[in-house]
Amino acid sequence: MSERGGVRHFLLALQFFTRIPVTGRLAAWVGYSPAMLRASAAHFPGVGWVVGALVALVWLGAVRALPAQPAALWVAAVFSTAFGLWLTGAFHEDGLADTADGLGGSVDRERALAIMKDSRIGTYGAATLVLALLAKLALLVLLAQAGGALRVAVALLAAHVTSRLLPLFVIRTLDHVGESDGSKSKPLADRIANGAVVVGVLWWLPVVPLALSLLPDGAWAVALLGAALGGGLVWRLLQRRLQGFTGDGLGATQQVAEIGFYLGLVLGLGAAA
């Protein structure tokens, strides 16, 4: 893949997974095709760099602007999380809710897939989404109390990049299931190549020295373990219940891996204290 092609695929991923405008002449230069969107999957962690950096800046700005009161951490966590939801159009959260509805609403594979295609949110999806958002807020506040505002900013950046790497392994190892027509993940119906996973890992690697400069080695390792376990849990559910992945399942993988990262980091910082 040429350097120019890599930039186009990254910008396409940025356009597809965020509200950041790629319009006009730039959009014409980037272009679009299902094959290009499939290739853009390698740059999911790159999108995580952009989203994570912007969310971290909102977090730091809110902490600096608000009075130094305990409740300020909760307000900053809400502001940064809300900004992240707006920036991504709640794309991954929607996938988490649909996956919870499908897997929680029926033990039958075909019925579960049909439920996941329904745009309406059900009881399982609503409950899971509320609990996931509350978990993120509470864990961010705990991180701030345990490690300070700057460490939370680094955690936000690292979590967004890391959690967007995990779906690549889902795409690489599972088959796409359900009807491809109209599916969010239609361009990913064919498995990505090993090279795409390598590109994703290369996007992720610069997070390591950045995180280690501000986080204890042990805490960083536990955070990665938490993300891997979270992503692995969703992978196992998709493999066992659906015998493959859907676009919603990829969103669920990202969300659970992100929460697992924060949880692991909280536990790791507690152990290091």
Nearest to 156 by CA among 50, 56, 60: 56
**What is the rounded distance in angstroms from the CA atom of residue 156 to the CA atom of residue 166?**
16
Within-domain flag for 27: no
Within-domain flag for 36: no
The answer, yes or no, to whether residue 189 has pLDDT greater than 60, is no
Token pair for residue 85?
């939801």
Within-domain flag for 38: no
Within-domain flag for 32: no
The answer, yes or no, to whether residue 34 has pLDDT greater than 60, is yes
Amino acid at 183: S
Within-domain flag for 4: no
pLDDT tens string 45-88? 999 999 999 999 999 999 999 998 889 999 999 999 999 999 99
Task: Give the pLDDT band of residue 153 (cuts 50, 70, 90).
Answer: very high
DSSP codes, 118-168 = -SS--HHHHHHHHHHHHHHHHHHHHHHHHH-HHHHHHHHHHHHHHHHHHHH
Task: Give the pLDDT band of residue 151 (cuts 50, 70, 90).
Answer: very high
Nearest to 262 by CA among 213, 222, 231, 233: 222
The answer, yes or no, to whether residue 226 has pLDDT greater than 80, is yes
**What is the rounded distance in angstroms from the CA atom of residue 231 to the CA atom of residue 222?**
14
Amino acid at 48: G
Within-domain flag for 170: yes
Nearest to 106 by CA among 115, 97, 98: 115
Residue 172's domain comprises 44-272
Nearest to 145 by CA among 216, 137, 28: 137
Q: How many domains, the chain? A: 1
Within-domain flag for 70: yes
Query: Under a CB-based contact definition with an 8 Å cutoff, are residues 235 and 256 in contact?
Result: no
Nearest to 238 by CA among 259, 221, 223, 254: 254
Task: Report the percentage of the chain scoring pLDDT > 90.
Answer: 71
The answer, yes or no, to whether residue 186 has pLDDT greater than 60, is no
Within-domain flag for 22: no
